[in-house]
């Protein structure tokens, strides 16, 4: 196990009706709020009204930025920055899924930065002195509510890229499972795949003696396998929604990568190229790519780790590493399909037209992946295998 510092400063307020604690939490950091939300789900579920009531009760001034789209766009980020500057806002409150939270983080980073906010995504600028943010999450998936990452799409260049800084970790996040009852089957499934994919990215990575981290990762995978299907059949099952919600936060708050040099993250890199051009739901893209990536990188060297997952997560008893690994990967594919997620790019009408460009863009900062290093040609091969 490598040395590490582990610091996850986000305060989690978890459970029914935790929204009543919103006002005092915000007041610790600011009094002029940018309220950010998406296409209206927060109004349908009554969360918007509850938030406004809290803001008014605590005399918090607010300005709204609505209409943030899934795969959030740079234009929303720029508009948010403009509003913050114009109204001298000092706190950002996203209410919604990962897209709303990610847009808010990029806004928070951009307000006190004089250049183009896309610079953060292109590694030309470092986050310094961002506005504080606190979140109310309504969809179990990305882990954005407890990490410092944001993924933004530049619609002009058809690029989707991430940025990250510990300074962007939310000060607090309110996680009320009841708000996730209304998430439809498709996004519930995509969110479950996303969390599992985050676990895979850090699990299939070079590591030595990280038994406890891997055991936590396996437990989170089992949580998704147990409760994902229940949430699909019984959307208002509190136990299922609560377990998925907390699993999503734990899957990507840094916990499972502690003691390792780095995660792999090639699959996410490849998926981001797909959703940048085709605006595909992130989790659906991962459901297609992740099992294909697994098969592509499976070798004598990597088989033992895949076999470990097969045995500990999917209860496969095969003593041979290679065949246990293959069965484990098939189990992942079958599980994603059982959730109703696509298995091929053709199923979601994505042709091979842009594969070469996607390979180049995925590797724009160099080869990707730590479990197995991938060049642009490997990315193209994986995309072809996914057709
Ligand atoms: O826009 P509204 O009306 O709110 O509808 C949303 C949206 O259409 C809807 N939704 C959210 N909560 C709901 C609900 N519908 C009914 N009831 C509710 N309670 O769900 C749709 C999808 O929302 P979105 O926020 O896009 O989903 P998700 O949370 O999966 O976020 C996906 C984005 O996060 C990025 C992805 O690439 C993608 O852009 N990621 C962010 C990461 C991070 N910050 O750490 C890591 C991830 O790997 C990922 O890349
Ligand atoms: Zn993801």
DSSP assigned state of 305: H
Instruction: Determine the length of the chain.
Output: 387
What's the CA-to-centroid distance between 142 and ligand 1, angstroms?
7
Residue 291 near residue 329, CB atoms below 8 Å? yes
Give, for 164, the enclosing helix (H) or strand (E).
strand 159-164
CATH of domain 184-385: 1.20.1090.10
**pTM for the full predicted model:** 0.97
**Alpha carbon distances (Å) from 240 to 140, 213, 223, 224, 229:** 11, 23, 9, 9, 9
188 pocket-lining for ligand 1 (C-beta < 6 Å): no
Q: What is the 3-state secondary structure (H, E, C) of 167-201?
A: HHCCCEEEECHHHHCCCCHHHHHHHHHHHHHHHHH
DSSP sequence for 241-279: HHHHHHHHHHHTSSGGGTTSS----HHHHHHHHHHHHH-
What's the CA-to-centroid distance between 83 and ligand 1, angstroms?
22
- pLDDT at position 315 is 98
Residue 19 near residue 180, CB atoms below 8 Å? no
181 pocket-lining for ligand 1 (C-beta < 6 Å): no
CATH topology of domain 11-179: Rossmann fold (3.40.50)
Residue of 64, 70, 108, 272 with the most ligand 1 atoms within 8 Å of its CB, for mutation: 70
Q: Closest ligand to 281 CA?
A: 1
Residue whose entry in the numeric block shows the structure tokens 């891997």 = 214
pLDDT (tens digit, 9 = 90+) per residue, 313-342? Answer: 999 999 999 999 999 999 999 999 999 999
Q: Closest ligand to 272 CA?
A: 1
**Alpha carbon distances (Å) from 111 to 77, 115, 186, 210:** 10, 10, 34, 39
Q: Pick the residue whose CA is nearest to atom 46 on ligand 1.
A: 142
For the chain, the domains span: 11-179, 184-385
181 CA closest ligand 1 atom index = 19
145 pocket-lining for ligand 1 (C-beta < 6 Å): no
Q: Closest ligand to 185 CA?
A: 1
248 pocket-lining for ligand 1 (C-beta < 6 Å): no
99 CA closest ligand 1 atom index = 25
DSSP bridge partners of 34: 63, 92
Sign of CA dihedral 69, 276, 171, 97: positive
Residue 288 near residue 181, CB atoms below 8 Å? no
Q: Pick the residue whose CA is nearest to atom 47 on ligand 1.
A: 142
For residues 261 and 2, what is the distance between their CA atoms, to the nearest angstrom?
7
Residue whose entry in the numeric block shows the structure tokens 């042709």 = 351
99 pocket-lining for ligand 1 (C-beta < 6 Å): yes
139 pocket-lining for ligand 1 (C-beta < 6 Å): yes
68 CA closest ligand 1 atom index = 1
In the chain, what percentage of residues exceed pLDDT 90? 100
138 pocket-lining for ligand 1 (C-beta < 6 Å): yes
Residue of 38, 42, 147, 160 with the most ligand 1 atoms within 8 Å of its CB, for mutation: 38
For residues 297 and 386, what is the distance between their CA atoms, to the nearest angstrom?
14
97 pocket-lining for ligand 1 (C-beta < 6 Å): yes
What's the CA-to-centroid distance between 317 and ligand 1, angstroms?
37
- pLDDT at position 144 is 98
- Mean pLDDT of residues grouped by 10 in the chain (387 residues)? 96 98 98 97 98 98 98 97 98 98 98 98 96 98 98 94 97 98 98 98 96 98 98 98 98 98 97 95 98 98 98 98 98 98 98 96 96 98 98
- Report the greatest alpha carbon distance in the chain: 64
DSSP sequence for 195-251: HHHHHHHHHSS--SS-HHHHHHHHHHHHHHHHHHHHHHH-TT-HHHHHHHHHHHHHH
């Amino acid at each position: 196990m490598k040395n590490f510092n582990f610091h996850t400063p986000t305060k989690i307020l978890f459970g029914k009706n935790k929204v009543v604690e919103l006002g005092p939490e915000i007041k610790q950091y600011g009094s002029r709020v940018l309220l950010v939300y998406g296409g209206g789900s927060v109004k349908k579920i009554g969360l918007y009204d509850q938030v406004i009531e809290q803001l008014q009760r605590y005399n918090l001034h607010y300005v709204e930025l609505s209409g943030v789209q899934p795969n959030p766009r740079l234009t929303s980020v720029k508009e948010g920055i403009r509003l913050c500057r114009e109204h001298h806002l000092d706190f950002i409150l996203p209410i919604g899924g990962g897209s709303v939270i990610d847009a808010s983080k990029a806004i928070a980073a951009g307000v006190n930065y004089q250049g183009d906010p896309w610079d953060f995504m292109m590694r030309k600028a470092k986050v310094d002195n961002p506005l504080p943010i606190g979140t109310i999450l309504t969809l179990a998936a990305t882990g954005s509510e407890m990490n410092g990452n944001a993924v933004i799409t530049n619609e002009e260049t058809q690029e989707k890229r991430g940025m990250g800084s510990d300074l962007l970790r939310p000060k607090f996040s309110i996680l009320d499972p009841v708000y996730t009852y209304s998430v439809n089957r498709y996004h519930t499934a995509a969110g479950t795949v996303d969390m599992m994919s985050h676990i895979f990215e850090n699990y299939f990575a070079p590591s030595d003696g990280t038994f406890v981290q891997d055991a936590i990762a396996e437990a989170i995978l089992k949580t998704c396998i147990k409760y994902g299907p229940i949430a699909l059949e019984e959307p208002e099952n509190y136990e299922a929604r609560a377990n998925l919600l907390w699993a999503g936060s734990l899957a990507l708050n840094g916990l499972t990568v502690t003691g390792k040099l780095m995660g792999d993250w090639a699959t996410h890199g490849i998926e981001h190229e797909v959703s940048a051009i085709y605006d595909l739901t992130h989790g659906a893209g991962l459901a297609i790519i992740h099992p294909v990536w697994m098969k592509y990188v499976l070798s004598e060297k990597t088989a033992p780790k895949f076999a470990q997952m097969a045995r500990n997560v999917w209860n496969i008893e095969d003593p041979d590493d290679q065949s246990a690994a293959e069965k484990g990967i098939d189990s992942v594919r079958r599980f994603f399909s059982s959730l109703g997620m696509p298995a091929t790019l053709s199923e979601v009408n994505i042709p091979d037209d842009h594969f070469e460009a996607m390979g180049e863009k995925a590797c724009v900062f160099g080869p990707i992946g730590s479990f197995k290093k991938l060049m642009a040609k490997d990315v193209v091969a994986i995309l072809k295998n996914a057709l």
